Amino acid sequence: MADLRQFQRRHGGIEIEIGDPSTAEDLAEFLRGLCFDIQRSGERTLEARFRDPLPANDAAARLELDLYLRVWEAMKNDAQWARRID
């Protein structure tokens, strides 16, 4: 848990890039409904921060976010995409 807190302190959260800027609010609301605080950080980017409980480590956090992004993409029938920026 300390690793993720350090990651979030160091980097300000996990950055997500989206293919279509018009879908940013939809993705943000989806992630807010799960376990994230979300801020728009650019035209095609969002910043995600886990709320408690935090994942066990950085790798678990990346995996969890990637899985949620895949679920969101699967729910969209119009070829939307979102990916975590390393």
Query: pLDDT tens-digit profile of 53-62?
Result: 778 888 888 8
Rounded to the nearest 5°, which phi and psi values hold at 18?
-120, 150
User: How is the chain split into domains, by residue range?
Assistant: 2-84
**CATH no., domain 2-84:** 3.30.70
Confidence band of 2 (pLDDT split at 50, 70, 90): very low
Q: CA–CA separation, 63 vs 58, rounded Å?
A: 9
Instruction: Name the more confident of 53 and 14.
Output: 14
Instruction: Name the more confident of 83 and 42.
Output: 42
Distances (CA, A) of 64 to 34, 36, 38, 52: 11, 11, 15, 14
Whether residue 5 has pLDDT greater than 80:
no
